[in-house]
Amino acid sequence: MTTLEQLCELGVFSPLDVQFAHFLYRLDGGGHEVVLLSAVLVSYFNAQGHICLSLSDLANTSFPTSPSSQNLPQLQCPSLTQWRNELSATKVVGMVGDYKPLILEQDRLYLYRYWHYERLFAQQIYLRLQPLPLLFSRTLLKDHLSRLFPAKPRDVKQRKAVLCALTRRFCIISGGPGTGKTSTVVRILALLLAQQADLRVALAAPTGKAAARLEEAIQAAIPQLNIDPELKNNIPSKASTLHRLLGSKKGSPYFYHNAQNPLLYDVIVVDEASMIDLALMTKLVSALLPNARLILLGDRDQLASVEAGTILGDLCELAEKKQSFLRNHLVLLEKSYRFRADHGIGQLAHAIRYGETETLTRLLQSSQESIEWQPIENQEQLQKKLTPIILKNFTSYLQARDPFLALKLFNQFRVLCAMRHGIFGVLAINRLIETILSIHFDIKPNTRWYHGRPIMVTRNDYHLRLFNGDTGLILQLPDMPEAQAFFFDPESPNGLRQVWPNRLPEHETVYAMTIHKSQGSEFDEVLLLIPDQISNLLTRELLYTGMTRAKQHLYLMGNREVIIEAMSRRIKRNSGLIMQFETLKKTAY
Ligand SMILES: Nc1ncnc2c1ncn2[C@@H]1O[C@H](COP(=O)(O)OP(=O)(O)OP(=O)(O)O)[C@@H](O)[C@H]1O
């Protein structure tokens, strides 16, 4: 068995990585071992969220590199010069401008598709850097701004964001929870519509949940505006998923809207932009009209997309560079209006974001109204420590006699796990919570449709209009002959959709969910469960994303040492986006 196959058996590589490597080796004609090594690594790194393989990071090392892989078979990587030279001699690796399965640009090796996306994305953003004219006179603009920001002291950054969006085709508004991203974008829309009443506006987000939250936040923000009622009525609040906006084609990675058939909108606002991967972002920017304004909202410190890329993070990093041409296209909102300066969750989020170990330790040990920290010494303690929190937060929805109320109460609290598998993983914790609840309530975890079972849809069902991530409850109330699944549905008169459990698309139990899945959602109270051992999955971004899902109260369970170690680990994804912009800049002059 070759080293590739051994590493596949051991679960380091996927069968796809290995098959892809063999396929390219054969396509090349055989004889170049470097193709096997490079192709398997490109495929592997791509699946880990990297846009490309960084040859310089791996040159002269052996792979896998982590300390826990010491006893595994190793692949030896050549020196950078030798690696580049050997790749250049193959038929399957091309340079910039070639159409080959792999592209080598400087020391970055890409699957052609990802190189193409990266270059196209950079080009599309570059084209949007030309400013747009301001239609208001200065006096009128001043008047509008003082009506939209009447409170003193005025938030200078939010005003800056408004001016940025008014005069640019592309702008990023990034900020942590409650920093006023939605409130600012509503003011932007009010001003743009005051300039031009028939402006075509689209609101979108990467997931259905995030789109629903954007709608709610916009609807809540509009009444607060000090503007004419007619203008208020003109501000749209309907949001859709990006896939729906672009027009999904069944069984195809392409969309109905693209460069040839652009989206007919003048303004496109996209929330939760940190969740958008390179491929989707490229398809979005390619489908815009030349003069359309793209406004990206998001939190750069959150977890990056599941698929390859850290686009929002890369763009923010580039915009923050000295004399960056993107400098005037980014506004970072820093003041939180949700958390007072002395609020525990706000302070903890700040400490994690900046890796401040001492502040983190102080916050965990001091008694905070909004944070309860409990270390976990061993697995046996888990049930004992979880029980009071589970009973406190899940009793009310289980006892509710009205489906709408039950859903509302259930959605106030969620358990978040770092991973899916293992003792601290979602699957085991959901089973443990079922056990805890079955001791105190008449629920039968061994039956599928027991009263109170919370479910999350894991596969889209367009017919039932149920989408990946939608959360509902199985309820069997006294007036129901059989259990039914209930989901929120703002379009239905009673706000609910009722589905026969047997007709549900693929789903799973969701007392607990992964932090990844919780992106784009917020809950009044969150229990964040950190495993007792450090692993590659535990990073600063994961901790930050998990804890900032809590609006009022955070239960944090985990060992201090593991939390501190996780905080010191940053997600780094290989990408050449910044270099692509540098190249465009050089060729433009
Ligand atoms: N300049 C401001 N002055 C006073 N209150 C503000 C200001 N900006 C926002 N707020 C209030 O802060 C709260 C959070 O604002 P908003 O929902 O716009 O933030 P966000 O960044 O979009 O939050 P999320 O983290 O939920 O995405 C709202 O209640 C809003 O009314």
Same domain, 404 and 385: yes
What is the average pLDDT score of the chain? Answer: 90
Q: Domain of 517?
A: 345-558
| Sheet containing 413-417: order of strands | 371-374, 550-557, 523-529, 413-417, 512-514
DSSP 50: -
Nearest-atom number in ligand 1 for the CA of 522 is 26
- Confirm whether 568 is domain-assigned: no
Same domain, 150 and 95: no
Give the pLDDT of residue 1: 67
Among the ranges given (22-31, 38-47, 341-350), the one the predictor scored with the smallest mean pLDDT: 341-350
Share of the chain above pLDDT 70, in %: 98
Residue carrying the six token digits 């005051």:
194
The tally of domains found in the chain comes to 3
- Confirm whether 158 is domain-assigned: yes
Same domain, 451 and 519: yes
- Confirm whether 485 is domain-assigned: yes
H helix runs in 287-380, sequence order: 311-320, 344-353, 357-365
Same domain, 105 and 170: no
Give the pLDDT of residue 239: 93
Nearest-atom number in ligand 1 for the CA of 337 is 12
Give the pLDDT of residue 588: 63
* CB distance 178 to ligand 1 below 6 Å: yes
Q: What is the ipTM of this complex?
A: 0.97
Same domain, 76 and 179: no
Same domain, 93 and 68: yes
Distance 184 CA to ligand 1 centre (A): 8
Give the pLDDT of residue 67: 67
- Confirm whether 584 is domain-assigned: no
* CB distance 180 to ligand 1 below 6 Å: yes
> Which of 149, 182, 226, 272 to mutate for ligand 1's pocket (most ligand atoms within 8 Å of CB)?
182
CATH number of the domain encompassing residue 80: 1.10.10.1020
Nearby residues of 541 by Cβ (< 8 Å), 6 or more positions away: 301, 302, 303, 304, 570, 571
- Confirm whether 576 is domain-assigned: no
Same domain, 513 and 547: yes
Same domain, 146 and 49: no
Same domain, 271 and 389: no
Nearby residues of 105 by Cβ (< 8 Å), 6 or more positions away: 95, 96, 115, 576, 579
Give the pLDDT of residue 334: 87
- Confirm whether 583 is domain-assigned: no
What's the whole-number mean pLDDT along residues 494-515?
Answer: 93
- Confirm whether 322 is domain-assigned: yes
In this predicted structure, the answer to whether residue 503 has a pLDDT above a threshold of 90 is: yes
In this predicted structure, the answer to whether residue 289 has a pLDDT above a threshold of 90 is: yes
* CB distance 151 to ligand 1 below 6 Å: yes
Same domain, 371 and 428: yes
- Give the number of other CB atoms < 10 A from CB of residue 271: 28
* CB distance 175 to ligand 1 below 6 Å: yes
What's the whole-number mean pLDDT along residues 224-236?
Answer: 88
Closest residue CA from atom 12 of ligand 1: 337
> Residues 325-375: pLDDT tens digits?
888 899 999 888 877 777 888 889 989 999 999 998 988 888 777 899 999
Q: Binding residue per annotation — 178?
A: yes
pLDDT-based confidence at residue 270 (cuts at 50, 70, 90):
very high
Distance 357 CA to ligand 1 centre (A): 28
Same domain, 297 and 355: no
> Residues 522-539: pLDDT tens digits?
899 999 999 988 888 899
> Residues 392-446: pLDDT tens digits?
999 999 999 899 999 999 999 999 999 999 899 999 999 999 999 999 988 887 8
What's the whole-number mean pLDDT along residues 295-313?
Answer: 88
Distance 180 CA to ligand 1 centre (A): 3
Look at 377 and 386; give whichever has higher pLDDT.
Answer: 386
- Confirm whether 143 is domain-assigned: yes
Same domain, 314 and 357: no
Q: Can you read off the two tokens belonging to residue 121?
A: 């994305």
Give the pLDDT of residue 71: 79
DSSP 100: S
Q: Binding residue per annotation — 309?
A: no
- Residue ending a domain, among 294, 313, 338, is 338
Closest residue CA from atom 16 of ligand 1: 180
